[in-house]
Amino acid sequence: MRFFDGCFPLVVAMHASHFDEGEMHAMVEGYQAYFRRGERYALLAVAPGEAVRMGAKERKLVVDWVNDSRVKDNVKRLCVGGTSVLPSAVARHAMTALLWFWTPPCPFRATFNVDQAFDFCTDRIRAAGLQLPGSEDAVRLQVRGHLRAAGGFDPSLGKESASKRPPNDPTPTGAAASSRLEGRR
């Protein structure tokens, strides 16, 4: 897992396509650094491809970690909102099912693409009285550039396809794409 906080208080976490003990260690260390920092933030999490592959052992590690009282307290105190980009309808439905049984300690939303996630995070940042380090448009471009550079993730589609999508592709993103997906906005 890699973290990008060049646009703090917006933190971008990019998961690897597989999840193992090394990825778990990187995740815990990354979040612990933000907890120690003690400043409020919004989290935008992405993974290359359709979903992060995780075995039963890894799922147990994550569940135990997110349910740790210190982690929950820190997230509740510091994270003004979090979102996971889940381009796969199956992954979004799985997340919805998970949320029937587990309540995140901060406002959370699963989104179709990075633009939706960015909008949710910036809304939460504004609602908390925090400020981005530049205009929303400039920060959005910086986040997109970082995601592309970090592994070929195409933030406009929510998929691992930067090399397959022309730079001026008119395919709808953001509100237009999500309204088709959800039937509302």
Express each pLDDT in 39-75 by its tens digit. Answer: 999 999 997 665 566 777 877 888 888 889 999 999 9
Concatenating the DSSP letter of every residue in 132-158 gives -SS-HHHHHHHHHHHHHHTTS-BTTTT
pLDDT at 47: 78
The residue ranking higher by pLDDT, 133 or 104, is 133
SS (H, E, C) 10-25: EEEEECCCECCHHHHH
H helical segments located in the chain: 21-37, 56-66, 69-78, 89-101, 114-127, 136-149, 174-182
pLDDT tens digits, 69-106:
999 999 999 999 999 998 877 777 777 777 787 788 99
Q: What average pLDDT is seen over the chain? A: 79
Question: Could you state, in order of their start, the residue ranges of all structural domains in the chain?
Answer: 2-182
Looking at residue 77, the DSSP 8-state letter turns out to be: H
Residue 30 burial by Cβ neighbours in a 10 Å radius (0-12, 13-18, 19+)? middle
Residue 10 has pLDDT above 90, yes or no: yes
Instruction: Give residue 72's Cα distance to chain centre.
Output: 17
Instruction: Look at residue 125 and tell me whether its pLDDT is greater than 90.
Output: yes
pLDDT tens digits for 136-170?
999 999 999 998 887 756 655 544 433 333 333 33
- Beta strands 79-85; 108-111: pairing state: parallel
Q: What angle do CA 91, 139, 182 make, to 5 degrees?
A: 30
- Whether the predicted pLDDT of 178 surpasses 90: no
Bridge partners of residue 108, in order along the sequence? 82
